[in-house]
């Protein structure tokens, strides 16, 4: 049973990813005190997505995962998108028509 070729990342690469995550945490905290208007949310979420990708790709080994696992994950994100986008198409557009209750 030697066909099992597992990718073992170096400890150094993990430490580098960790340092990137710490840096992003400091950046997101610092940026929160700057008035960017509506872009405060965008900046905070963009940094959070970067951190999520670092954790998922490196710490959770998604970059070494099988195509099936990657496909299933992409599918999950699509479903999460449906949950959020379709709900907000209701809540975020109420009152736009100028008709009470619409």
Binding site for other proteins (CB under 8 A): 1, 3-4, 6, 8-9, 11, 14-15, 18, 21-22, 25-26, 28-29, 32-36, 40-41, 44-45, 47-48, 51-52, 55-56, 58-60, 65-66, 68-69, 72-73, 76, 79-80, 83-84, 87-88, 91-92
Query: How large is the C-alpha radius of gyration of the chain?
Result: 20
23: left (phi over 0), alpha (psi -120 to 50) or beta: alpha
* Shortest CB 28 distance to other proteins, Å: 6
* Shortest CB 98 distance to other proteins, Å: 18
CA atoms of 68 and 90, how far apart (whole Å): 34
Pick the closer one to other proteins by CB: 63 or 92.
Answer: 92
Pick the closer one to other proteins by CB: 37 or 98.
Answer: 37
CA atoms of 40 and 42, how far apart (whole Å): 5
Pick the closer one to other proteins by CB: 33 or 97.
Answer: 33
CA atoms of 24 and 33, how far apart (whole Å): 15
How many other CB atoms are there within 10 angstroms of residue 61's CB atom?
Answer: 13
């Amino acid at each position: 049973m030697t066909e099992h070729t597992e990718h073992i990342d170096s400890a150094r690469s993990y430490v580098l990813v960790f340092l990137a995550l710490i840096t992003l945490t400091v950046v997101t905290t610092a940026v929160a005190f700057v008035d960017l208007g509506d872009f405060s949310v965008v900046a905070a979420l963009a940094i959070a997505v970067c951190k999520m990708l670092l954790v998922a790709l490196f710490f959770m080994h998604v970059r070494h995962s099988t195509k099936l696992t990657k496909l299933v994950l992409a599918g999950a994100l699509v479903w999460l998108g449906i949950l959020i986008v379709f709900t907000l198409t209701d809540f975020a557009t109420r009152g736009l028509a100028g008709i009470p209750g619409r």
